[in-house]
Structures are given as C-alpha cells and as structure tokens.
Structure 1
Amino acid sequence: MASPVQSPYTKVGGAYEPPSSTPGWMPILLGVLTAVGPISTDIYLPAFPAMVRSLHTTLGSVQMTLSIWFVGLAIGQLTVGPLSDRYGRRAPLVAGNAIFALASVVCAIAPNVAVFSVARFVASLAASASLVVPTACVRDLVPDRNAGARMMSKLVMVMGVVPILAPMLGGLVVTFASWRTIFWASAVYGAICALLVLRVLPETLPRRRRQRLSSIILVSRYLLLLRHRGFLTHALIGGFSTFMSFSYLTAASPVFIVGFGFSPLHFSMLFGVFAVFMIGASQVNGMLVGRVDAGRILTGSVLLAVVGALSLLAVSIWSLHLPAHRHDHGASLVVILTICTMAVALGATGLIYPNATMGALADHAHMAGAASALTGTMQYAFGALAGALLGVLPSGTALPMAGGMLLGSLMMLATLPFRPR
C-alpha cells in the first residue's frame, strides 16, 4: 500500500491549523470522488427500458432499484461520517470505493432484478463515503462559510462534468451494446477513485482532532444537530431540494423515452443539457458568494425553483388535453415548454445545494463528519421517498414528475422563514 500523502495542516504553537489556501487541484479531486454517487445514479437511467426486457421484470421494479440506491446512500452516510471523524478522511474513502467497485461487478453479471437490487444496495452503502467525506474535507480546509460555499461551487462544477457525460455514455452503451457494460464501467471508475485517494489525496483531519465516539455519544451528536435550528433548517432545505431533483431523476426516462418518444441517446443528451444548467448556476453562486449575502442567494434560488416547478406543472396539465403532441420528438410546443421549465427548476438547485450544505455545517467544525453525514442522509432519505412515490405512480405523462418537483420546491419555501438570521 502506498504511504500516506502529507497532510496540508501545519503545526502552529503546538496546535495544527488548516492551510491559508488549498491547492488548486483539490476541488477537482474532491469533485471526481463525489461524482461516484451522481455517475452511478445517472449513467443507467437511459437503460431502464432495456433492463426491463433483459431482466424479465417490470418498469416499476427497475425504477425501485433507484430508490434502493437512495436508501443505501442515506443509511451509509450515518455510519461513514462518524468513522471519518474517528479514523480520518482517507481510510473510509479507500474502503468505500473498493467495495463499490466489487459490488458494481455483481450488478454487471446479475441474472435477475433481485440479485441486481441487493448488489446495488451494497454499492450504495459503499458509495456513501464519496458523498459525505469530501464535504467534510471542505469543512476541514475552509472554516469560513463564504469561502466554503465558493469551494463547494467549484466542487459542484467538477463533479457535474461527469454526470453530464455519464448519461450520454449510458445512452451510447444501450444503443450499441448491453446495459451490463455500464456497470463494468462503474467498477473501473470506483477502482480509479480508490487509487487516487491512496496516491494523491492528503489527510485533512490530523490525528489530534480525531475523536473516539461510542454509539451513545454518536446518537447524542445527531440529536444535538437536529435540535440546532441553523443545521436543521438548512439540512431540510437541502433534503427537499433533493426530493425535487430525484423526482426528475426517477421519472424523466419514462417521460421522455416512452411518453415523448426520445431515443436513449437523445434523452441522455437532454440530460446533459439539464446538468449544464445546474453546473452553470453553481458557478454563478461562486461569483455571488461574498458579494451577496448567502441567505439572500438561498431565498432567491428557492423562489426560482418554485416558479420553474409551477410552470412545469401547468405545461403538464395542458399537455393532457393535447395527446397528439406527447409523442413528438422535440418540435412540439409541449416538449419545448417542458424542457424550458425543467431547466429553470433544476438550474435553481445548483444555487441551493452549496449554500444549504455550508449553512448546515457552518457552526459544527468540531464534528464536520457527523454533520455532513446527517445532511447527506436527510437528502437521500428524501430522494428515496421521491423515488418510491414516483415509482408507483403512472408514468405515461409528465404530471407525476411535475407534481413531485413542485412539492419539493414548496416545502423548501415553507422552511425558509424558520432559518436563524
């Protein structure tokens, strides 16, 4: 095994202090690691219809594997966050990515949807390390909230490039090869991430700041966080934002491929367009933070999400009275308006995510791993709920997806007034 990379912390007066600046490549590396979750979510969305045929199952069962993925991510983060506070950031990342790679291999050779679901659940437990630990690394390196939000915006940009390419890759694979190739590629990505952590990522949590945690102390920490109004409100906003995004992720493939008649490749290209809007919004956030109050940015972005989701619902209801338009490949007014309103609603999440996340972690530097874990768990618990809900609703129109996105945006709006000043 490679020797640990030197920590960026420096010893000052007997205490270790975070560096005054972080290397320019650090957000890139953390973004690549964090992208394990999004790429594993996004890359197989265009393959849903092909998986139904290959595994001899129903669309609802395949969609449910997405909910299983979200549940595993939610559960895993509760454990891996405190482990990273106890053993440092690198060890959980190496183990998580290695197990993710092995579980992805099982997904690739699964003979039926039951085996696939179990392997997918194990993969999600392991992938949770790549969701929670990089966020804790940001909190380790950048104590200031505004600076942390700027770094999170850079991380979102980097991790967002992979999800743009992932559905396109998935669409190409489904068009020219078996959907199983997607999970072989996921296994390779997980192995590469494990090697990157071993060879490149420095340890951002020095030994003297690590904490021995019993189960009782761990539970008390989570209860303490849930009683903290600043943490709870920002974490809820992040969770409802995830509910909104995952309503789109769960339902978009049937809506555009089955309902609007898109090919898997064309759908994956459209998916990339939506990702560009989200990444672009996150970069606008990076320019605004420090010039405009983060709370005002969060409020404005939530309002934008509500406007986009309301507009999408209106278009979806209107489309029910124009059945001839639902099978157009993109030229109809219904399809164009659906895409435009979704772009507005989803673009707002690029502003919401970094500000809500850093708002939740701002006052908890001494337990950044636990705070990041609980934030992520709440996000993916809401995502699993959205996936389960959309999985049992009819998928012939965009109406269920629009309703789910609107519900998430309205719940964010209802949470805003309870934030501390």
Structure 2
Amino acid sequence: MTTGFPLPMAAIAALALLSAVAPLATDMYLPAFPVMAEQLGASAAGIQVTLTAFLAGLAGGQLLIGPLSDRFGRRKPLLAGTALAIVSGLFCAFAADVGHLVVWRFLQGLGGAAGVVLARAVIADRARSAIEAARLFQVMMIIGGLAPVLAPSVGAGVVALAGWRAVFVVLAVLSTVSLVGVLRCIDESLPAERRARGGVPALLRTMGQVLANRSYLGYVLMSGFIFMVLFGYISASPFVFQSILGLSPAAYSLAFGANAIGIAVVSAISARWLGRVPPQRLVAIGIGTCLLASLLVLLCVLTGAGPALMLPCVFLAICPVGMTLGNASALAISQAPGATGSASALLGAMQFLLGAVASPLVGLGGKDTAVPMALTMAVSSMLAVLCFALLAHRGSRRAEVAAAA
C-alpha cells in the first residue's frame, strides 16, 4: 500500500509493532504477579525485581544499540535485538524460578530495546523534514502508541485464559511477527557514507554533544515527564477507578478503553494538522492541556468529586499524550541529524526511566487514596511545561538567532 510518506504503510506498521512490543512486555504480566509469586515460590518483592530487570535492560539496551546503529547501520542491530527478544521471551515462559526469570527478563528488555530505539531512527533517516518525521511519528502513535494503555487489560485476558506463562509466549509471537516485518518491509536506512566513524570514545563524544544541545535536552526531559503522567495513570487507575470511584470492572474497562481511543484520535488529528500547524505549537497545546486537566484531576481528588467530574478530567489529561509524544520525538531527533541513533536512544531511555519512576510514586499512599496519582500527574505535567518553555522552545529560539547572525 502506497502512502504520502517516504515509507510504505506495511513498513510503518512493522515499525509501530516493533516499538509497541516493549511497552506490552512491561505491563502485560502485571495482573499475574500474585499467581507468579505463588507458583514460583517467590516474594512479591522478588517478582517486582523481574520488572526492574526488564526496565534496566530496556534502558541500557537503548543506550547501547542506538549509538552502535549510528556506526554499523540500523538493520543488523534491529534483527539481532528482535531475535534476542524472541528467544528470551520463550525462556521467560518456561522459567523454573524467579532467579532465572530475572535473567531472561533483563535479556528480553535488552533485545526489545532495539525495536524501540531503531524504529524512531529509521523514520528519522527516511523523513525529508522534521514535519514529515512528526507526521510519521503520529501515525505510529495511532498504531503502536496504545500499547502501554491497553497492555494490562490484554494481559489480564491472557492470564485468565491460559495462565501467566502464556503472556511471554504471546510476546515472543509478537516479536516474531515484527521480525518477519523487518525482513520483508524494512531495508537499511542508513547508508555507509552517512555512518559515524571511530570507536567507543567517538560514540561517547557524540552522545555528549547531543546532550549539550539545549533544545534537544528540553524535548527529551519534556517527553519523559509526559511518560510519567501516562504511567502514573496506568499504574494507579485500577485502584482509583474501582476502589475509590466505585466503578465495576466492566465500567473500569470502558473508561480505560475510552482513554486509549482518545489517545489514538488525538494522534490522528495531530497528524492531519501537521503542515498547517507547526509541531512546536502542537506540543505546546498538548502539554498545556495536559497540565490544566491534571490540575483539575488534583482538584477533584482534594474535593472528593465523583466519577462524573473525575473521569472527564482524567480523559482530558491523558488524550494529549497522542499529540505530544510523536511531535516531541521528531523535534528532539531533528536536533541531532548526524547522530539519529544516539538521539533516539537517549530519548527512549529517559522516557522509560521516568515512566518507571511514576509507578512506585503513585502507590506511596496505599490503594485507598488518589492523591499520589493526582499529584504525580500534576507535578509531572508542570515539569514538562517548564522543560518545554525554558529549554526546548528557548533553545530553538537561541539557535535561530545564532544562525541568522
């Protein structure tokens, strides 16, 4: 199928699936934690370590694979990482104890990092402008950006039907499908003449230069704080919506699904607006809406408002994620045209690092209060606005002035 993009739709779908597998692998097995602890003879803390190990592999893998892809190209690291994710996922499914599961989860994260970081890099390589890259990222958000929101519900269904081990089999199958998609649809996007030269010291210097870009750093931090809003909501919503707001499991699923659809719809709207509205303005609209709605969520919690007020405010806080992350990713990576892999790696690592921080924060007050969730969303969105205003936007203005001088 042909599109107006520099990539066919099949390739875009393959890249979206690649970037979606890691968020799915993060959250799909969360509903099975109690059963896993019982069957593996482990403590709750021990099972939690398997998630920490995966996130460590995911963050570290991006920081490793991104710069290496600038040196050796995108396709080979992508194939190798996806193959590692498949094999380690199958070993997770057959792990006999929590110790082995921790090891295989780390390797699963390490391999899955290739899809996350290199999907963005391939798009940046092929896009002919920052606006085109932003439009591609928005299309990917429609296809693959729903993964972290839908993962717990999908995982609960898989666990109920076939047990927790089936979750890892499903993840291995999805990784296999994405591997086939890479083989069939995605060619090498970084020709030899555009690759970085030198060894490890040169790669480290490149990453330092990327981080020294004020505008790039602003977009990276802003994206990370928006991830905190999203992951804080995902982690706390089962308790907040059901235990505090009194929703039934069916009503909770509907509310959760409505927010997921909202993200996709806003992503589609943003993709259509690009070209008429600058991506910087779309980011500003997105994070501004997120901040205002998050403050309303906090006000609802502090005043004891019911679901009729609370749920629309949460919806308005979560939907702008669809407008913000794709555009911010394109704007960040466009600041480092000669080091796309490194720029994508640092961006992804920061997103998942701050997203992982949100999960324990929203649980600090226990399951009978929504204050930690509301505070996490409000403070994170406020920090996102500050990073955009003081670093990303101001850094871009300074660069424009310097270029004109």
* TM-score (ref. length: structure 2): 0.87
Query: 1:297-308 to 2 correspondence within 5 Å?
Result: 297-308=282-293
How much has 1:120 moved relative to structure 2? 1.9
d(CA) in 2 for partners of 1:263 and 1:56?
A: 31
2:273 maps to 1:288: yes
Query: 1:151 offset after TM fit, Å?
Result: 0.9
- Among 242, 248, 253, the residue aligned to 2:233: 248
Q: Does 1:69 align with 2:54?
A: yes
1:159 maps to 2:144: yes
Query: Aligned equivalents of 1:349 and 1:312: distance in 2?
Result: 16
Amino acid of the structure 2 residue aligned with 1:361: I
Among candidates 369, 374, 391, match of residue 341 of structure 2: 369
TM-aligned CA distance change 1:311 to 1:71, over 3 Å: farther
Deviation at 1:252, TM superposition (A): 2.9
Alignment of 1:211-230 (within 5 A): 211-230=196-215
Q: 1:400 to 1:164 in 2, by over 3 A?
A: closer
Residue 38 (str. 1) matches residue 10 (str. 2)? no
What SS does the corresponding residue of 1:366 show, helix, strand or coil?
coil
Distance verdict in 2 for CA 1:108–1:395, change over 3 Å: farther
Q: Compare 59-68 and 190-199 and name the one that shifted more.
A: 59-68
Query: C-alpha separation between the residues in 2 aligned to 1:133 and 1:163?
Result: 18
Alignment of 1:117-128 (within 5 A): 117-128=102-113
How many angstroms apart in 2 are the aligned matches of 1:264 and 1:117?
31
Moved more, 160-169 or 335-344: 160-169
Return the match for 1:351 from 323, 331, 341.
323
Question: How many angstroms does 1:137 deviate by?
Answer: 0.6
Distance of 1:203 and 1:396 partners within structure 2: 51
Compared with structure 1, are the counterparts of its residues 266 and 72 closer, same or farther at alpha carbon in structure 2 (3 Å cutoff)?
farther
1:63–1:391 contact (8 Å) kept in structure 2? no
Question: Partner of 1:231: helix, strand, or coil?
Answer: helix
Specify which of 387, 393, 398 is matched with residue 359 of structure 2. Answer: 387
Structure 2 residue 137 is matched with structure 1 residue 137: no
Quote the residue 2:73 is aligned against.
Answer: 88
Equivalent AA in structure 1 for residue 355 of structure 2: G
The unaligned stretches of length 5 or more in structure 1 are 1-18, 320-332
Using the alignment, how far apart are the partners of 1:131 and 1:334 within structure 2? Answer: 38
1:398 to 361, 370, 388: 370
Higher helix share: 2
Alpha-carbon distance in structure 1 between the residues aligned to 2:360 and 2:97: 20
Q: Deviations over 1:302-321 (max 9, x none)?
A: 111112211222223334xx
C-alpha separation between the residues in 2 aligned to 1:256 and 1:392?
Answer: 17
1:149 equivalenced with 2:134 (yes/no)? yes
TM-score by length of 1: 0.84
| Inter-partner Cα distance in structure 2 for 1:296 and 1:401 | 28
Percent identity between matched residues is 33
Query: Does the C-alpha gap of structure 1 residues 387 and 368 become closer, same or farther in structure 2, counting only changes over 3 Å?
Result: same
Q: After the TM superposition, which of the residue ranges 58-67 and 335-344 deviates more from structure 2?
A: 58-67
CA distance in 1 between counterparts of 2:44 and 2:374 reads 19
Secondary structure at the counterpart of residue 154 of structure 1? helix
Q: Which amino acid aligns with 1:156?
A: M
The Cα offsets for residues 331-360 of structure 1, whole Å up to 9 and x where unpaired, read as xx7344443222211111111101111111
Which range is displaced more, 217-226 or 47-56?
Answer: 47-56
Query: SS at the partner of 1:25?
Result: helix
Pairing 1:232-271 to 2, within 5 Å after superposition? 232-256=217-241, 267=252, 270-271=255-256
Whole-angstrom CA distance in 1 between matches of 2:296 and 2:34: 28
Tell me: CA distance 1:71–1:317, structure 2 relative to 1, closer, same or farther (3 Å): farther
Q: Deviations over 1:362-420 (max 9, x none)?
A: 13221111111111111112122223434555233322222211121010111122222
Say which of 381, 388, 399 aligns to 1:409: 381
Separation in structure 1 between the aligned mates of residue 272 and residue 235 of structure 2, nearest angstrom? 31
Aligned residue for 1:404, secondary structure, equals helix
Q: Deviation string for 1:75-118 (max 9, x for gaps)? A: 11111101211221111111111111222223223344444333
1:273 to 258, 282, 296: 258
> 1:202 — aligned with what?
187
SS of 2:135's partner is helix
Question: Across the two proteins, how many residue pairs are aligned to each other?
Answer: 390
